[in-house]
Amino acid sequence: DIRRMGAASIDLCSVAAGRVDGYFERGLKPWDHAAAALIVTEAGGRFELFPADDTGRVLVIAAIPGIFERLSTLAQP
């Protein structure tokens, strides 16, 4: 089941709250994810930024620990 709430901050906080298992998106700006990254990690989740692709867009992945690796593999080219 894949869903988008419409705002990266809400999606990331949903991971932290345990309402969703994972989130990924390419092209976010630091202000879109900086505070939520702290919230996710403090809640026990995992958050990572992956290097920019050839268009210069970074990949953001956040998930509960049990699925982070699998989501990371699926989300990266």
Tell me the domains of the chain and their CATH numbers: 8-61 (3.40.190.80)
What average pLDDT does range 38-66 have in this prediction?
A: 91
pLDDT at 64: 93
pLDDT at 2: 62
Residue 77 has pLDDT above 80, yes or no: no
Question: What is the C-alpha to C-alpha distance for residues 40 and 34, in angstroms, rounded to an integer?
Answer: 10
pLDDT at 54: 83
Task: Give the three-state DSSP class for 63.
Answer: strand
Contact 61/33 with Cβ under 8 angstroms?
no
- pLDDT tens for 4-42 read 778 899 999 999 999 999 999 998 999 999 999 999 999
Q: What is the pTM (predicted TM-score) of this model?
A: 0.86
Question: What is the C-alpha to C-alpha distance for residues 47 and 43, in angstroms, rounded to an integer?
Answer: 11
